[in-house]
Amino acid sequence: MTTPSTPKTTTSLLLSLLALAAPACLDPEGDLDEETFEDDDEVDAPVQFRTTGSDLTASDICPNVINDGIGLMRYCRSRNIYVDNTSVTKAIIVIHGSGLDAKNYYQRTLDEAVAEGVDTSTLDIIAPQYFEGDVPDYDSNPWTDYYTWNSGWRWGHLSTSHTTRPSFAIIDHIIGQLLDHRPNLESIVIAGQSAGGQFVDRYAVGTSIDTGDVDIRFWAANPSSNVWYNGTRPEPTCSGYNNYGYGLDNRNTYMSGSTTAQIRSRALTRDIFWSVGELDTGSSGLDASCKANAQGANRNERWSNHRDHVGALCTSEGYNWLYCLFHTARHVEIPGCGHGSACSWASDEGHDILFGT
């Protein structure tokens, strides 16, 4: 098999390996701007959406609106994705965790960009907000036009409010707008933490969107589980252990748009980073199902087992040993970090992935 072109890399280990290899919407107020598909008004105070065990209150909701022609979503952003901008050369799309706190992820990413010395006039930061559940007391016009989801949004499942629309399709829409309205765009990074890490882990191998000459990178940080690309597991299995999103059997609507061979190829050739905190060995928020436990006992162990799985898959697919060694190095353990996003985002490794080339 011909070795595919090597994706761009960031960590020192990857750079060393490269050196070795070189020789060989409807608006909530009814006044949607038809040109921008956005509304910048603040959310009315009574509006709430349910998260697991708590409410997402008005102050937590992003002020801007995504309208993909089917439904609406809120998002936080540095500038309108529907308006042309010639200054932007890089975009970071950041996916929140189970707390649905897109505002926090937007601000954290911006803060780290400033700390890194990034020229923010050339950087788009975009944080879509997935409303989880439906609170009947607040289910009245105008909010009925908004997408809502169950927890399956993190695996690309269909919306519960607009039942033909997968959560992953929203990211395809955002990327499409960036390609249309950022003529000097050079690169896109899609980064997610915890539940957002699960999202990116699956989206990275499931999307078939063509970004042309624009580089695209994926960062799945601290996911509770990963999608595996065959039926092997390091721990005892149970019925349905290889169903999507733990494996590739019985895939959902979005993921069924790609063949198993395509998904495996993307896992081995796309610019994907999988990271875990060195100290992310606890059980808080951990998927404790038999299907998840077949991947390992905790996030750190599951990350290590997934690294071995990807390495074995790489060899079995016929890639040469150096390429497979290089690709295994895309599994990054971040020293001194536990499960939270703040440490991973502020780390040298996190900065390399987010802001490096």
Question: Residue 14 pLDDT more than 60?
Answer: no
Task: Say what the alpha-carbon torsion angle 54, 60, 62, 68 is, to the nearest 10 degrees.
Answer: 10
Residue 7 lies in a domain: no
Residue 6 lies in a domain: no
Domain range for 317:
12-355
CA pair distance 316, 296, nearest whole angstrom: 22
DSSP calls for 187-254: EEEEEEETHHHHHHHHHHHH-----TTSEEEEEEES-S----SSS--SS---TTTTBTTTSSBT--TT
CA pair distance 143, 164, nearest whole angstrom: 18
Question: Residue 164 pLDDT more than 60?
Answer: yes
Residue 70 lies in a domain: yes
Residue 5 lies in a domain: no
Question: Residue 110 pLDDT more than 50?
Answer: yes
Question: Residue 321 pLDDT more than 80?
Answer: yes
Domain tally, the chain: 1
Residue 2 lies in a domain: no
Question: Residue 339 pLDDT more than 60?
Answer: yes
Position 11 scores a pLDDT of 44
Residue 1 lies in a domain: no
Question: Residue 94 pLDDT more than 70?
Answer: yes
Are the beta carbons of 334 and 354 closer than 8 angstroms? no
Tell me the pLDDT band of 2, cut-offs 50, 70 and 90: very low
Phi, psi of 110 (to 5 degrees): -65, -45
Q: What is the pLDDT of residues 30-79, one digit of tens each?
A: 334 434 445 444 444 444 555 555 567 778 889 899 999 999 999 999 99
Residue 219 lies in a domain: yes
Tell me the pLDDT band of 26, cut-offs 50, 70 and 90: very low
Residue 166 lies in a domain: yes
Burial profile 40-61: b = 16 or more Cβ within 10 angstroms, e = fewer: eeebeeebbbbbeeeebeeebb
Residue type, 294: A
The CATH code of the domain that includes 328 is 3.40.50.1820
Question: Residue 21 pLDDT more than 90?
Answer: no
Mean pLDDT of the region 273-285: 96
Question: Residue 25 pLDDT more than 50?
Answer: no
Name the percent of the chain lying above pLDDT 90: 75
Position 132 scores a pLDDT of 83
Mean pLDDT of the region 95-119: 97
pTM for the model: 0.87
